[in-house]
Amino acid sequence: MKIGEVARQAGVTVDTIRFYERRGVLSAPNRRPSGYRDYGEDTVGRLRLARRMQSLGLSLDEIIDALAAHDEGRATCDSERWRLDAALDRVDARIAELRALRREIVSARTACEQGSCTLVSA
């Protein structure tokens, strides 16, 4: 299967596929005599899995590591759950940061309403 077809089926761009090859998410495909990449049927599934992991907040390095564990046959729900825990911790930390920022904005707005706007005077 050519790169454009893989991209269409996986819902990614050709550039994404090339990037994933460079980073090791995908192994280098076979080449046709014409030089075109020739991908196996499993490539689409692997791309979808990588994108799903990304949508769950895993970093690219975490995705590469998780896929390597899968390829080596050592990935189980129990052995991989920590990756989701780490992503959840990052999300919780970001939520806490956003809540703190929201409090600051509300405070600044309240100050403006009381005549001492922090946006016009430092």
Residue-wise pLDDT tens digits, 17-32: 999 999 999 998 989 9
Domain count, the chain: 2
6 and 18 both lie in a single domain: yes
20 and 49 both lie in a single domain: yes
Q: Provide the mean pLDDT of the chain.
A: 93
Is residue 56 pLDDT above 90, yes or no? Answer: yes
Buried b (16+ CB within 10 A) or exposed e, 105-115: eeeeeeeeeee
- pLDDT per residue as tens digits for the range 70-107: 999 999 999 999 999 999 999 999 999 999 999 999 99
Q: Which residues pair with 30 in a beta bridge?
A: 38
Q: What confidence score (pLDDT) does residue 117 get?
A: 87
Does residue 121 lie within any of the structural domains? no
Of 91, 24, 92, 29, the closest CA to residue 61 belongs to 24
User: How far apart are the C-alpha atoms of 44 and 24, rounded to whole Å?
Assistant: 15
CATH of the domain at 4: 1.10.1660.10
69 and 88 both lie in a single domain: no
Structural domain containing residue 19: 1-75
Q: What confidence score (pLDDT) does residue 57 get?
A: 94
**pTM for this entry:** 0.79
Mean pLDDT of 48-69: 95
